[in-house]
Chains A and B, each alone.
Chain A
């Protein structure tokens, strides 16, 4: 059974930094591209970033480019999102999702990041 468990979400002040983690199990982690998707309270889904199976290619939404960094450790079956220069508009539930080659087929339950002074 595919499981994705996010962690690391907390309350942080504007301008602060945070690293989110996603622990994966139930599939061969290093075979798949992985994504981060976020959802602001009461709002829709917003794609944030993706990383290729080997970490060699990364892509970002314009809204986070230059501030967020996606990475992975295949030896630990883990995905990460380093978030710097956080803004109030980054407040959201952050999901990690597995790429099923043509879709995001499995999602975690999310971890909540609140940016507030």
Chain B
């Protein structure tokens, strides 16, 4: 049950696009199309942004997109806005009914 690997921080200017990577193993990210992404603003609960690698829940902006290749999943935010500044966490099903999260990535909008 080792945590998935995410960069500690990423940054971008308004209007730009950024991508956050999430690297796991063949036992979690690589084996299941069950990767989710959560956004967390300070003092708030996590909010689901992407599920099943690339699906968006109702109400989530289409500026958020997800993908996966091998053991690495990615979250891309296009047209960066000030309100996107937050922590982002990836999450994967890891077999045997367990779940594993990434360490989190702090997104700074310059």
Contacts and interface: CB of A to CB of B under 8 A. Distances in A.
A47 B91 CA distance: 9
B57 A47 contact: no
Nearest to A108: B45
A35 B99 contact: yes
A52 B34 CA distance: 18
A35 B91 CA distance: 13
Contacts of A47: 91, 98-101
B64 interface: no
Interface stretch (A15-23, A24-32, A76-84, A95-103): A95-103
Given A102-B52, A105-B51, A95 B45 contact: yes
B48 A59 contact: no
A103 B34 contact: yes
- Residue among A61, A104, A108 with max Cβ neighbours from chain B (10 Å): A104
Interface in A84-117: 95, 100, 102-110
Given A102-B34, A103-B36, A46 B48 contact: no
B48 A103 contact: yes
Given A62-B1, A103-B34, A45 B89 contact: yes
Interface of A: 35, 37, 44-47, 50, 57, 59, 61-62, 95, 100, 102-110
Interface of B: 1, 3, 34, 36, 38, 45-48, 51-52, 57, 89, 91, 93, 96-104
What 3 pairs between A and B have smallest CB-CB spacing?
A103-B51, A44-B104, A47-B99
Given A103-B36, A107-B47, 7 more contacts: A45-B38, A46-B3, A46-B101, A100-B48, A100-B51, A104-B36, A107-B46
23 contacts: A44-B3, A44-B101, A44-B103, A45-B46, A45-B101, A45-B104, A46-B3, A46-B101, A47-B91, A47-B99, A47-B100, A100-B51, A102-B34, A102-B93, A103-B36, A103-B48, A104-B36, A104-B48, A104-B91, A105-B48, A105-B57, A108-B45, A110-B45
